[in-house]
Amino acid sequence: MKKTIRFGVSIDHHLLEGFDRLIKDKKYVNRSEAIRDLIRDQLVEEEWTFGKRVVGTITIVYDHDVRELGETLAHLQHRYHKAVQSTLHVHLDERNCMEVLVVMGKGAAVKAIADRLIGTRGVKHGKLTMTTTGKRLS
């Protein structure tokens, strides 16, 4: 059974007012849950940095009419097949596509894969979102 610990925090009243607005905007039930999420977020970021196993998504938007771009992206996904768990391909309009890749591996490796895909000629926009596998969070 998990043990819950209570502790006090001293904070400037302006900072607290801003935090309370954030809590309300994000629909948190209370300050404690918001603080827990902030702590979890920092712990997850630490996992990316220190080589722990992470999971994430790489989202790219590209013009499929760019010469050999589809083949290049497919080739890269096959090259990194151990990290790429799944893909979703969406036709945005007659020229533009979006792909979302679910990736898993060491943080630095996942970032390197994302950088390679996002940096490919013809990719208009890309974003890496990483999180933890959840093993160390409660």
- 67 and 123 share one domain: yes
Residue 127: pLDDT band by 50, 70, 90 thresholds? very high
Asked if pLDDT for residue 134 goes beyond 80, the answer is no
| CA 7/CA 82 separation, integer angstroms | 43
- For the segment 15-29, the average pLDDT, to the nearest whole number, is 91
Residue 36: pLDDT band by 50, 70, 90 thresholds? confident
- 73 and 124 share one domain: yes
- 37 and 73 share one domain: no
Torsion sign, CA atoms 55, 130, 57, 81: negative
Task: Look up the domain containing 26 and give its range.
Answer: 13-49
